[in-house]
Chains A and B, each alone.
Chain A
């Protein structure tokens, strides 16, 4: 499989995420789109990890090149999990205050 395909797939998924953030007003869906973007990046990281490992394995079958990329994915998941817990807490609080999760209500930055 050429690496290009994975890149394209990731870019498409990422752009779908961006489009979702831009077009939806529901804060929870916006949040989900962000998760989608994170996963697109994760996919690309794993693909590159694989690519580098495959190239190195030609000369040395026992090489561990590529481990770093996968561990990065792992840490991204860790951070994403933490982010989701806090983010959802904020959304819950917002809902409690304004009884809505429409991000257009979040225009307090104006003043």
Chain B
């Protein structure tokens, strides 16, 4: 456990070296430094994980960060089961993506290549800080840090205005959420007089009323909405696909967007004591899952499909949190990190092969040209669709069962979402890999180099087998290793939740059978529909065009929020130039005029000065002696 503080230090060192010497280092060296630091961090994370498995948990206080009056905020790391799981995900997936990037970004010039790795390392550092912090303030530092890196990496190709706008959009949307987080932190300081996890949870239940806790948790959830792209703050995530594809895989699929899940899972006791918030979380999560799923149905940009899929899956995780299945949510974070990173990296491999063509209508028949990418992508699609025994099945099933126990309506809506997922993923699969090649036949796509395919294969293995650590009771006694591992973290929170009757085994069997059958049917339907996809010039009509245009949410935000704000800004601008400036300039001009008159006293004539001096002395003596 004493090694834990070095885990975030390594990426920081990588960031500094790559950032400072970006002009000097060769690409190979940059890649080695960038990936190597993460690899060592991963090795340390494995050691920490072993340590934690043996029961060595606790806080590591490094130094006093803020010390004001009664408020003491140490710079401390909390090492426990939840942290160690996230450490493994971040450094493990992070390392694979770093390796992948060395090949994917190879076309960039030397210093831009190093800049990319510096940002990526800084991101990993911030993300590690976020999950390791032992209080909300340290978490907030990481929270802001990942937001910053996300901004920097989305706008990595800063020559492109659209990309810059996407970066700004992501940053501003995140800021809205961050404000909620910040308010929650101050509220907690006021209520509990502390921000440390242990200090706050020790005062619960009892120290704070349900209303206060509901307020705090809702504010925290606003932060999570921004970071994890939930309705209504989700629109930045699809735009964030402007960044390089490995960035989308690491930041906008596997790690950063799950920060909200981590934060709520970490605060499970507070959420458990605020049932209203739990309901809000569940409903927002569920509606996001469905809403984003419907949009994904009609997108043609391969990365946009994956982005909406990510939003949708994040919605599932929030549904899990909202119904009290904290373990299920964390489980889904983990499996999702595997298969969504794989999907993004596979998409990156395709984009790389297709010379930055992202439109799926130009793909088709890539199965022949890119066998490894094809197989790994197929496995990932099966995993995300929830076909047993792939990893997605276990995690999604756990969330859906918990949702059923809380409220059957959640389950049915969630099931529809799962069907949507299966449909759009196999639409993507069909359009990309099946049928005939529709693109420019002069550029025959080719399989990507080993640095890209090896991470794909590793992630594919994880996507297939990752679910086996969480086999439900139904299949095997004590099969759910993850639940047992995480039990100490969630014990207090789960105690507080009114336990819903767990559905009987027969119900559960039926649910699994129904969902798997339906999903299989949807997959067959989707493959049939898109296997022979031919591009037609006809624009989508009716509902399909609404979906293609993402329900016009961006336009709605533009009309409801942006336009009035701009109008207000213009009004203030006119008021500023018309009233305030005139006033200020008037004062200035009056002073100028007065000064020009006063200046005449300064004749520059020494004699006059002396005369004035003598008169002043006379007045002074008069004042001193006769007053």
Q: Do A and B bind each other?
A: yes
Question: Main SS of chain A's interface residues?
Answer: helix
Which of B602, B610, B614 contacts A109 (CB under 8 A)?
A: B602
Give chain A's interface residues, CB within 8 Å of chain B. Answer: 18, 21-22, 25, 103-104, 106-111
Alpha-carbon distance between A110 and B610 when the two chains are bound, in angstroms: 15
B347 to chain A, nearest CB (A): 74
Do the beta carbons of B604 and A21 come within 8 Å of each other?
no
Do the beta carbons of A107 and B605 come within 8 Å of each other?
yes
Alpha-carbon distance between A21 and B609 when the two chains are bound, in angstroms: 11
Do the beta carbons of A22 and B610 come within 8 Å of each other?
yes
Do the beta carbons of A107 and B610 come within 8 Å of each other?
no
Tally of contact residues, B, Cβ under 8 A: 9
B606 close to chain A: CB less than 8 A: yes
Alpha-carbon distance between A109 and B607 when the two chains are bound, in angstroms: 12
Contacts of B611 in A (CB 8 A): 22
B608 to chain A, nearest CB (A): 9
B612 to chain A, nearest CB (A): 10
Do the beta carbons of A110 and B604 come within 8 Å of each other?
yes
The B583-620 residues at the A interface (CB cut-off 8 A) are 602-607, 610-611, 614
Do the beta carbons of A111 and B610 come within 8 Å of each other?
no
Which of B602, B604, B607 contacts A22 (CB under 8 A)?
A: B607
Chain B: CB-nearest residue to A25: B607
The 4 closest A-B pairs by CB, nearest first: A110-B604, A107-B604, A109-B604, A107-B605
The 23 sampled A-B contact pairs (Cβ below 8 Å) are A18-B614, A22-B607, A22-B610, A22-B611, A22-B614, A25-B607, A103-B605, A103-B606, A103-B607, A104-B605, A104-B607, A106-B606, A107-B603, A107-B604, A107-B605, A107-B606, A108-B604, A109-B602, A109-B604, A109-B606, A110-B602, A110-B604, A111-B604
Do the beta carbons of B610 and A21 come within 8 Å of each other?
yes
B599 to chain A, nearest CB (A): 9
Alpha-carbon distance between A109 and B605 when the two chains are bound, in angstroms: 8
Contacts of B614 in A (CB 8 A): 18, 22
Alpha-carbon distance between A25 and B611 when the two chains are bound, in angstroms: 13
Alpha-carbon distance between A18 and B617 when the two chains are bound, in angstroms: 12
B250 to chain A, nearest CB (A): 67
Alpha-carbon distance between A22 and B610 when the two chains are bound, in angstroms: 7
Contacts of A25 in B (CB 8 A): 607
Alpha-carbon distance between A107 and B602 when the two chains are bound, in angstroms: 10
Chain A CB within 10 Å, residue with most, of B602, B604, B606, B611 = B606
B510 to chain A, nearest CB (A): 100
Alpha-carbon distance between A60 and B125 when the two chains are bound, in angstroms: 88
Contacts of B607 in A (CB 8 A): 22, 25, 103-104
Chain A: CB-nearest residue to B611: A22
Contacts of A18 in B (CB 8 A): 614
Contacts of B603 in A (CB 8 A): 107, 110
Q: What are the interface flags for B158-179 relative to A under an 8 Å C-beta threshold, 1 for contact and 0 otherwise?
A: 0000000000000000000000
Contacts of A22 in B (CB 8 A): 607, 610-611, 614
Alpha-carbon distance between A103 and B605 when the two chains are bound, in angstroms: 8
Contacts of A103 in B (CB 8 A): 605-607
B604 to chain A, nearest CB (A): 3
Chain A CB within 10 Å, residue with most, of B602, B603, B607, B611 = B607
A34 to chain B, nearest CB (A): 10
- List 4 other contacts, CB 8 Å, given A22-B614, A107-B603, A110-B602: A18-B614, A22-B610, A106-B606, A109-B602
